[in-house]
Amino acid sequence: MQSYSMKLLVCVYLQLFTFTVYAEQYDLFILAGQSNMQGWRSDAAQYPVDRQNIDPKIPFYFKALNYSSSNNSWQSLHSQLGHFKQGHFGPEVSFARAIKNAQMNPAIFKYSSGSSSIKLQWKAPGHRGQYDDMVLQLKQAIHQLESQGHTVVPQAFIWIQGESDANSTQLAQEYYWHLKKLLVHLRNNVLRQPDLPVILSVDEQHPRVQLRPQVVDAQIKLSMEDDSISFMSMHGLEKSDVTHLTARGSIAQGKRLYQSYMNHIKH
């Protein structure tokens, strides 16, 4: 009997040791938006070399509508299938590596949809649009990590979108309210963190955005109304065409996002 009890005790200790070794706290970063979040013209043939072997240590869950996904599960950080032979990648790569080097433990969730309007495709919460699908994927992603014993701490929401809402004057004028509704719902109803840091960005140099700058004004206004929201400019990033960033542009974009986040949390 004593021998059996000792074996049972040893088994319990081994289980606790295994759980302690493998259970981690992940800093969750939620990235969403349209083509410049996806990395539509960012050729993975120029995927930045991972000299520190960081990517395998960063969990990555993604869905690029009409292109590819991580098949409803976490993988390690990598390029994604797209119209380039070797696929594409977005700002998540340089951003996540910088976060990891800052002694955080990032898990990257990315949901992107090219040429998408916040009103017409993403839609308001509860209206069965892309936003609702993103929330469903996000909850599933968080549940997967937590079911493995990990702790998940949302650290920021990054939104790169707005060019498609500059297609018409009405969409541009309504953009502020649609974006505000999305942010309020995500922070209050989904993540339960009303002051979750948010970084907003849109291509200010896009011809339609220059014609209808209300989308830029909306993002800046939100950042001025809420100390936990910041606006990041895309001025000067290298482009492949009138709006889409090249691989070098996406890498630089990720570094800007990292700096914006670090500047934000220091205040």
The bridge status of strand 59-64 relative to strand 106-112 is parallel
Q: What is the pLDDT along the chain (267 residues), one digit of tens a residue?
A: 445 444 434 443 434 333 344 799 999 999 999 999 999 999 999 999 999 999 999 999 999 998 899 999 999 999 999 889 999 999 999 999 999 999 999 999 999 999 999 999 999 999 999 999 999 999 999 999 999 999 999 999 999 999 999 999 999 999 999 999 999 999 999 999 999 999 999 999 999 999 999 999 999 999 999 999 999 999 999 999 999 999 999 999 999 999 999 998 887
Query: How far from chain centre, in Å, is Cα 253?
Result: 13
User: What CA–CA distance (Å, rounded) separates 129 from 122?
Assistant: 5
Give helix 214-225 / helix 169-184 axis angle, nearest 10°.
Answer: 30
The answer to whether position 17 is within a domain reads no
Q: Are 70 and 62 in contact (CB under 8 A)?
A: yes
Q: Does residue 94 fall inside a structural domain?
A: yes
- Strands annotated E in 99-149: 106-112
Structural domain of residue 234, as residue ranges? Answer: 25-266
Report the distance separating Cα 85 and Cα 26, nearest Å.
32
Please name the residue that has the structure tokens 């297609």: 167
What is the rounded CA–CA span in Å between residue 30 and residue 154? Answer: 8
Is residue 19 one of the residues assigned to a domain?
no
Domain-embedded: residue 195: yes
Rounded to whole angstroms, the Cα distance separating 40 from 240 reads 10
End-to-end CA distance of the chain, in Å?
A: 61
Note whether residue 16 is domain-resident: no
The answer as to whether 239 is a domain residue is yes
Domain count for the chain: 1
Look at residue 7 and tell me if it is in a domain. Answer: no
Global pTM?
0.92
Separation of alpha carbons 145 and 109, rounded Å: 12
- Relative to beta strand 151-160, strand 25-33 is parallel
Quote the tokens at residue 125: 């919460």
Residue 60 lies in a domain: yes
> Which CATH number fits the domain that encloses residue 110?
3.40.50.1110
